A = this chain, B = another copy of it.
Amino acid sequence: MLVPHHSVLKQLPPFARLSEIEITEVLRSAVPRRYPAGSVVFEQGAAALHFSVLLNGRLRVTQVTPTGEQVVVRIVNPGDIFGIARALRLHTYPGTATAVVESLALSWPMEQWEPLVERYPSFAASAIRVIGERLLEAQSRIREISTEVVERRVGHTVLRLVQQSGVREAEGIRIDFPISKQDLAEMAGTTLHTVSRILTAWEHAGLVDTGRQKLMVKDPHRLLLVADGIEPGLLG
């Protein structure tokens, strides 16, 4: 497999401020990896041996509780850093990453983390920002799950997907990777049944278009009104 060209890395914020020579240097210890759809990228509890950047595709990161319930922690989009357990002084991955579509990542041995952070201040600053954004997102989710009724929670979950993984199309904004009702439920802190009922109601109201692992938001503005509780819910 071809080692990615400098220009690919140069696009990504963590590496944007590095020189050509530095990027060459950084790329020396990187290995590209391909993950077929459905394959496991790393597993919760396994030794954290690599950190990576997703070049294309999508990953779904999940955690399972001791009692077996699953929670979707986040979706990894192209350009995102992932698997940085070492930055948190963890020796094992806190979650499981699965490729939802065929994906390509650039992967470094975990020992390279400290040198990168120490040598390239702009890399460190970018890492702080990335983790900080995830923290803000996590706190939003906590706020939502704690204070909002299910329908609004699902609304915010869908809107977050729209922002992070939506592509504009003729009839609306499509979530451009396969996502099941179960996934949505595990993101919103509810059950697949409740998500199904809510999306059906929204579909009748013309807010969304859904199908098996498909989701398109036709009226983001009105969905926002529902999610923010300005417009009443659409459940029977």
Which of B119, B127, B136, B189 contacts A88, CB < 8 Å? B136
Which B residues touch A63, using CB under 8 A?
139, 143
In contact, A142 and B135 (Cβ under 8 angstroms): no
- Shortest distance from the beta carbon of A45 to any chain B beta carbon, whole Å: 14
Which B residues touch A132, using CB under 8 A?
84, 87-89, 131
- What separation, in Å, do the CA atoms of A19 and B124 have in the docked complex? 21
Given A145-B145, A189-B142, A129 and B89 contact (CB-CB distance below 8 Å): yes
Given A145-B142, A145-B146, A114 and B118 contact (CB-CB distance below 8 Å): no
- What separation, in Å, do the CA atoms of A50 and B19 have in the docked complex? 32
In contact, A147 and B65 (Cβ under 8 angstroms): yes
Interface residue range, chain A: 35 or more
A20 at the interface (CB under 8 A from B): no
- What separation, in Å, do the CA atoms of A71 and B140 have in the docked complex? 10
In contact, B71 and A128 (Cβ under 8 angstroms): no
A192 at the interface (CB under 8 A from B): no
Q: 1/0 per position for A120-159, CB-CB distance to B under 8 A?
A: 0110110111011111101101110111100000000000
For the complex formed by this chain, how many copies does it contain in all?
2
A67 at the interface (CB under 8 A from B): yes
Which of B67, B71, B146 contacts A71, CB < 8 Å? B146
In contact, B117 and A87 (Cβ under 8 angstroms): no
A69 at the interface (CB under 8 A from B): yes
Residues 57-84 (chain A) with a chain B CB within 8 angstroms: 63, 65-67, 69, 71, 73, 84
Which B residues touch A189, using CB under 8 A?
142, 145-147
In contact, B141 and A142 (Cβ under 8 angstroms): yes
Query: What are the 9 A-B residue pairs with the smallest beta carbon separation, nearest first?
Result: A146-B189, A88-B132, A138-B138, A124-B124, A118-B121, A69-B147, A135-B135, A145-B145, A131-B131
Q: Could you pull out 30 A-B pairs where Cβ atoms are within 8 angstroms?
A: A63-B143, A65-B143, A65-B148, A66-B228, A67-B147, A69-B146, A69-B147, A71-B142, A73-B139, A73-B142, A87-B128, A88-B129, A88-B132, A88-B136, A90-B136, A117-B121, A117-B124, A117-B125, A117-B128, A118-B121, A119-B121, A121-B124, A124-B124, A127-B128, A128-B128, A128-B131, A138-B142, A142-B145, A145-B145, A146-B186
